């Protein structure tokens, strides 16, 4: 009998329908020589430490780190799936021919391989079904194109590495920090990816908290309904701004130079999961997790291709498929397809169909496990969030084959009584792909950390009147007063972008592409990582903003080792997992690196290294901290380092040893009394002091089990 193992029951039903396996059995479908069964996500998981050694039920530092010689498996804690696990394992062992049809990616490979391990046949020969769409045609073609399971050995190695690394870091770090800092029964849950993400948000909150808003004055003038701005820097003080304003008042403005050029803005790239999640959060407020759930539902309804992808391109062999899909989308939006038909090389059918030469769409080198998310061509009435997600994907798909947005950009230079001014205007000559854009594209002023000031209008998109060089006339100058703005708090949209690029906030599409392989987590796991931090009470939503809680702040404060909270370092590990998939790095070396780092963490007592014989290092510039009459400060204060820690904080006199602890660790582990209540004093990444509620079991949200007395309990490894 030939056996197929799918990842979900719904996918198994689609496969069984194509194969003719229509007879329902207990845990599988059968017919036409096939048995089609399914997992329900992960059916097995790595054992916890106490299942290797009962003595490890007691959590203690002297038994850490614990690294098993060989990782062993057990059924998941969800008892409702145990019977299905027995069914799948039994069919795998008895099969004459075995087909892996779990989701085509790292995690799907791990689900299947773990089942084989648990069934006692890890080296069982099998073939691999690789699906990006669940249409009948795609399933038929995929069965014809099956490859031996050995062809995916590197993918299997990467999947194992990810799972084992998360276990090593998550289990050992969670136990170590809970034992050391878990007074009051608090379970401190750490993870290889989730902790650096939490650190990113905490650092952004620090930057916002200590931001010093400073006033500025900007000289503007209006000439023939066009807004001109002073061509120099903004004024940081009012007197010189007023003097410059007085210099131009009553004086004519003369156009000295006109620069004209034509800009062509190409269509945006197709969607991968991360960009889809970002856009849906920005436009409709959908969480990353909800967007993934909706996209998965649309995939299972055969409306979209596989959503858990990190590619924004299609393979060259998809040109004919794309042509057919574009034609079928007339039933979705005939107006959009009519726009497409007006562009040469973009007609939905016929010889002029989609251009294979467009490397922004078709590029085999940029298609990894799966191609970009696109419609399948099947259309049905949806409504609600499903319609929003489908419309976004279908619109982006059509846009990819439209022409560039072409615009004439004019920069006008002017002078008034020796004071230079400049204006910029844009005239769109061919809207191209932007005809279908939900919002007209605008120049991004910010760089991810908030613009330096505020603007009450986007003058860059104004349409200038017909100006000519040498003309002169009266104008209306004015002085605009504003204040510099702090960085914006992370939203799910901006956090996903930062996770994609290891903490770097990058707006440029090509630079993001270059950093893609070095992100935090994967497109498929980023949403769940965020939800984990919210569930555990380390983060909270404030409208669209994500904010660190007192509990999360305390956790980041007590973590001294950068291994656990460095976004770039963790991004490097994620990149190495990709290199393992590509056969350029080895599984043993990767695991050895993880083990060495966790051993070093435990050996140093989870404390930062004291490289200073004195009080400590300045958190801003790393120079020595010295003691003054009323405060401790940076020894480079003459070089404009503003770090200063007062000796008296909210009525509490800080002792020298407490200052050392704040500088080296970032937190006073023992609470102090402030305003009659116990508070925990923390030092932020920028060097300021804040106080928090002492962590307690009550501070943790439901679903997070604190370590019981005598440290008896389990904690599972996690990203």
- The answer to whether 44 touches 148, Cβ cutoff 8 Å, is no
> Roughly what angle, to the nearest 10 degrees, separates helices 526-535 and 492-500?
120
What are the catalytic residues? 306
How far apart (Å, rounded) are the C-alpha atoms in residues 206 and 689? 10
Coil vs helix vs strand at 401: coil
- The answer to whether 43 touches 88, Cβ cutoff 8 Å, is yes
Q: Which residues pair with 473 in a beta bridge?
A: 253
Main-chain phi, psi angles of 588, to 5 degrees: -60, -40
- The answer to whether 366 touches 311, Cβ cutoff 8 Å, is yes
Comparing C-alpha atoms, which of 397, 390, 212 is closest to residue 322? 397
Q: CA dist 715 to 2, 24, 535, Å?
A: 39, 38, 15
- The answer to whether 104 touches 370, Cβ cutoff 8 Å, is yes
- The answer to whether 619 touches 663, Cβ cutoff 8 Å, is yes
Q: CA dist 410 to 257, 466, 705, Å?
A: 10, 10, 62
Comparing C-alpha atoms, which of 249, 304, 320 is closest to residue 272? 304
- 310: Cβ contacts below 8 Å, ≥ 6 apart: 272, 273, 274, 368, 369, 516, 522, 523
The 10 Å CB-count burial string (b at 16+, else e) for 430-461 is ebbbbbbbeeeeeeeeeebebeebeeeeebeb
H/E element, 55: none
Token pair for 199: 């650190």
How far apart (Å, rounded) are the C-alpha atoms in residues 704 and 538? 11
- The answer to whether 44 touches 74, Cβ cutoff 8 Å, is yes
- The answer to whether 265 touches 274, Cβ cutoff 8 Å, is no
- The answer to whether 299 touches 305, Cβ cutoff 8 Å, is yes
């Amino acid at each position: 009998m030939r056996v197929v193992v799918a990842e979900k029951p719904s996918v198994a039903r689609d496969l069984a329908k194509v194969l003719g396996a229509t007879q329902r059995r207990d845990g599988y479908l059968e017919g036409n020589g096939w048995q089609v069964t399914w997992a329900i996500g992960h059916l097995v998981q790595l054992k916890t430490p106490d299942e290797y050694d009962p003595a490890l039920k007691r959590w203690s530092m002297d038994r850490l780190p614990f690294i098993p010689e060989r990782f062993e498996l057990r059924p998941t804690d969800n008892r409702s799936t145990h019977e299905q696990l027995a069914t799948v394992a039994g069919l795998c062992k008895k099969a004459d021919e075995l087909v892996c049809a779990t989701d085509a990616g790292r995690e799907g490979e791990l689900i299947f391989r773990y089942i084989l391990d648990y069934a006692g046949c890890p080296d069982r020969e099998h073939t691999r079904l690789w699906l990006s769409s669940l249409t009948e045609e795609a399933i038929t073609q995929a069965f014809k194109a099956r490859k031996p399971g050995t062809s995916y050995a590197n993918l299997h190695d990467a999947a194992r590495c990810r799972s084992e690394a998360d276990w090593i870091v998550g289990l050992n770090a969670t136990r170590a920090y809970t034992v050391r800092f878990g007074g009051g029964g608090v379970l401190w849950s750490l993870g290889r990816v989730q902790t650096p993400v939490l650190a990113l948000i905490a650092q952004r909150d620090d930057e916002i908290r200590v931001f010093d808003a400073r006033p500025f004055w900007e000289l503007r003038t209006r000439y023939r309904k066009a807004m001109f701005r002073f061509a120099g820097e903004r004024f940081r003080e009012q007197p010189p701004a007023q003097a410059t304003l007085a210099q131009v008042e009553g004086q004519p403005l003369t156009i000295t130079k006109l620069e004209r050029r034509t800009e062509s803005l190409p269509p945006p790239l197709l969607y991968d999961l991360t960009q889809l999640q970002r856009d849906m959060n920005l436009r409709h407020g959908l969480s990353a997790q909800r967007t993934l759930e909706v996209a998965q539902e649309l995939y299972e309804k055969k409306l979209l291709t596989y959503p858990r992808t990190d590619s924004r391109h299609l393979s060259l062999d998809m040109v004919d498929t794309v042509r057919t899909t574009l034609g079928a989308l007339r039933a979705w939006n005939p107006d959009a397809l009519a726009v497409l038909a007006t562009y040469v090389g973009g007609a939905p059918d016929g010889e002029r169909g989609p251009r294979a030469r467009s490397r922004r769409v078709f590029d085999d080198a940029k298609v990894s496990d799966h191609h970009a998310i696109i419609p399948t061509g099947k259309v049905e009435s949806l409504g609600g969030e499903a319609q929003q997600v489908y419309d976004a994907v279908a619109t982006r798909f059509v846009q990819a084959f439209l022409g560039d947005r072409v615009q004439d950009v004019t920069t006008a230079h002017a002078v008034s009584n020796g004071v230079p001014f400049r204006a910029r205007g844009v005239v769109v000559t061919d809207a191209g792909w932007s005809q279908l854009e939900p919002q007209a594209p605008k120049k991004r002023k910010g760089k991810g950390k908030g613009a330096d000031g505020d603007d009450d209008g986007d003058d860059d998109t104004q349409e200038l009147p017909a100006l000519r060089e040498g003309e002169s006339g009266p104008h209306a100058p004015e002085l605009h007063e504003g204040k510099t703005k702090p960085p914006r708090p992370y939203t799910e949209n901006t956090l996903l972008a930062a996770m994609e690029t290891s903490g770097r906030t990058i707006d440029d599409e090509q630079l993001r592409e270059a950093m893609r392989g070095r992100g935090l987590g994967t497109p498929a796991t980023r949403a769940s990582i965020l939800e984990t931090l919210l569930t555990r009470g380390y983060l909270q939503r404030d409208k669209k903003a994500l904010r660190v809680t007192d509990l999360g702040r305390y956790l980041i404060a007590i973590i001294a080792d950068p291994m656990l909270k460095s976004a770039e370092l963790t991004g490097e590990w994620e990149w190495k997992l990709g290199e393992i998939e590509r056969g350029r790095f080895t599984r043993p070396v990767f695991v050895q690196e993880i083990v060495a780092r966790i051993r070093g963490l435990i050996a140093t007592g989870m404390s930062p290294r004291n490289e200073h014989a004195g009080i400590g290092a300045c958190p801003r510039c790393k120079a020595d901290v010295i003691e003054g009459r009323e405060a401790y400060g940076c020894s480079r204060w003459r070089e404009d380092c503003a770090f200063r820690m007062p000796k008296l904080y909210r009525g509490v006199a800080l002792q020298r040893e407490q200052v050392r602890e704040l500088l080296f660790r970032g937190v006073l582990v023992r609470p102090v009394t402030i305003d009659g209540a116990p508070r925990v004093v923390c030092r932020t990444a920028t060097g300021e002091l804040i106080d928090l509620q002492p962590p307690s079991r009550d501070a943790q949200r439901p679903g997070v089990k604190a370590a019981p007395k005598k440290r008896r309990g389990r904690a599972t490894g996690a990203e």
